[in-house]
């Protein structure tokens, strides 16, 4: 369905479910951080939509299908949701414990052969701009 000044095209977006109406089978999803888009979903998709709503701080909804766009290319609504899936929210806290950066660096360094370390200039930290950009040494 196309309204004057709009067009329909493929949709592949990820967003935070802000509200869901299981009777009308519609949800409001925030995509791109600010745009609120209406989504119509099927009875089979209800569980994933409501789970995304309950876990909206850590699980967002990935929507693939078709959508209605404004003349400027902004998504107005999802007209057909072919596939819905949960995805870790952008910027959400991770369940995995954070390792100290020193531990990560040591792990990376352990994989570098000794002969490669021997080629690293002794004054690299003082003259990094020289070695990277060719500027005069200090």
> 110 exposed, middle or buried (CB, 10 Å; 0-12, 13-18, 19+)?
exposed
Q: CATH topology for 6-88?
A: OB fold (Dihydrolipoamide Acetyltransferase, E2P) (2.40.50)
pLDDT at 98: 66
In angstroms, the Cα distances linking 2 to 8, 67, 81, 86 are 7, 10, 17, 29
Task: Return residue ranges of the chain for CATH 2.40.50.140.
Answer: 6-88
pLDDT at 104: 73
pLDDT at 3: 52
Q: In tens digits, what is the pLDDT along the chain, a chain of 138 residues?
A: 445 789 999 999 999 999 999 999 999 999 887 889 999 999 999 999 999 999 988 889 999 999 999 988 889 999 999 999 998 877 655 555 667 788 778 877 877 888 888 888 999 989 988 988 899 998
Alpha helix (H) ranges present in the chain?
46-54, 101-110, 114-118, 128-133
Cβ neighbour number for residue 48 with a 10 Å cutoff = 19
């Amino acid at each position: 369905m196309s309204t004057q000044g709009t067009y329909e095209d493929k949709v592949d977006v990820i967003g935070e479910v802000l509200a869901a109406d299981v009777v009308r089978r519609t949800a409001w999803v925030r995509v791109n951080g600010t745009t609120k888009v209406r989504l119509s979903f099927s009875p089979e998709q209800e569980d994933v939509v409501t789970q995304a709503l309950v876990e909206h701080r850590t699980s967002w909804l990935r929507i693939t299908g078709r959508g209605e766009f404004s003349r400027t290319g902004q998504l107005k609504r999802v007209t057909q949701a072919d596939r819905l899936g949960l995805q870790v929210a952008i910027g959400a806290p991770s369940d995995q414990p954070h390792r100290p950066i020193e531990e990560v660096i040591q792990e990376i360094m352990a994989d570098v052969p000794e002969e490669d370390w021997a080629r690293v200039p002794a004054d690299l930290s003082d003259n990094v701009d020289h070695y990277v950009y060719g500027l005069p040494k200090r």
